[in-house]
Amino acid sequence: MIMCCNSKRIKTGESPNRSKSKPKQRNSEICPKFTKERWIEIMKRSFEDQGYSELSYNLRHNFPLDLRCQVWFWLTEKARIKNLLYQKLQFESPSEQQIYKDLHRSFRSKGNKKSLSGSSDSSQINKNQESEKVDQQKLDKLKRILIAYSNLDKEVKYVQGMNFIASSILEQLEQEELCFVVLNHILNIQNYRKVFLMDMSIIEIIDKRIQFEVPLIYNKMQELKVKSQYCFDTYIFSLFQLVRRELALRIIDIFLYEKESILQTVIIQLLKMQQVEILKCKEQDEMIIYIRNDLIEEALDKLDDGKDYLSQLLSIHL
């Protein structure tokens, strides 16, 4: 289960010392940019035939948003080849009760965020019938996708966090079976299932990167006895799907190809951007709550709206 800190950092107004200036961005153009025609052309072949550096650069800095569905389909080639028949996985699951509990907190609110609380807003109950029908259709699809995966993976079954990943995929793709393929690609082909088996090796790598890339924050964490797992567990278990939709989907775009390295890099860049604020923390709980609840939003507020958040974030030089 996701460890959730319910405490919220109290904001009494903008701190006079808080900088809202735009961070400097480095020139990251090390590979030629693909045109839309080039993207369409390379997707006629296996992605393994494409040079890693060139494809990685274009996924990070030149992603064709209008071709997202096609790119996801292309990158999940192995999951499609190895995929079992989706309909054959539609039978009763031991995880069905827990899946049902998590369904209603899985989709993004009008505020562009997902919530761990699971609480129902009474104002949302009185929807018109058409909206209720659409929402119920999404919930039914999500339930079938999660049940299918829980039946496919007898060891992991279903763990909270998968619902946020699957719902983001479902918000982007119309075809239910293809959503299942993308989820299976993330969890099995890219081996992210290990996180739900409590393999926290990704946290160990993040720790080492913090130590060498943002040593002042590392030293502060040591001083306050702050463990990385308490700060980043919701990011990891949800695959960053609790943040603004634009960034959440861009994380998936790259994860489908690069695996978890993109998560590590994003965390390091966020810490670099907000280092001044983090170093102001005086207590253990204060630092943990800031990183869990405020880090991403305050960092994104410094970036340009309307432009690719992820590309901007990865291009920042600090």
pLDDT of residue 145: 95
Provide the β-strand partners of residue 55: none
The pLDDT confidence band at residue 24, using thresholds 50, 70 and 90, is low
pTM of this prediction? 0.83
Domain layout of the chain by residue ranges: 36-81, 83-117+128-195, 200-315
pLDDT for residue 153 = 93
Task: Give the integer Cα–Cα distance in Å for 300 and 313.
Answer: 8
Work out the percent of the chain whose per-residue pLDDT is above 70: 81
Q: CA 77, CA 210: separation in Å to the nearest integer?
A: 34
10 vs 242: which has the higher pLDDT? 242
* CA distance to 195, 225, 265, 289, 314, per residue, from 230 (Å): 15, 11, 18, 9, 24
Residues 103-117: what's their mean pLDDT?
Answer: 67
What integer pLDDT is reported at residue 112 of this predicted model?
A: 57
pLDDT band for position 291 (cuts 50, 70, 90): very high
Average pLDDT, the chain: 84
Q: What is the pLDDT of residues 164-223, one digit of tens each?
A: 999 999 999 988 999 999 999 999 999 999 999 999 899 999 999 999 999 999 999 999
Lowest mean pLDDT among 118-122, 128-132, 301-305: 118-122
Architecture category of domain 200-315 in CATH: Orthogonal Bundle (1.10)
CATH architecture of 83-117+128-195: Orthogonal Bundle (1.10)
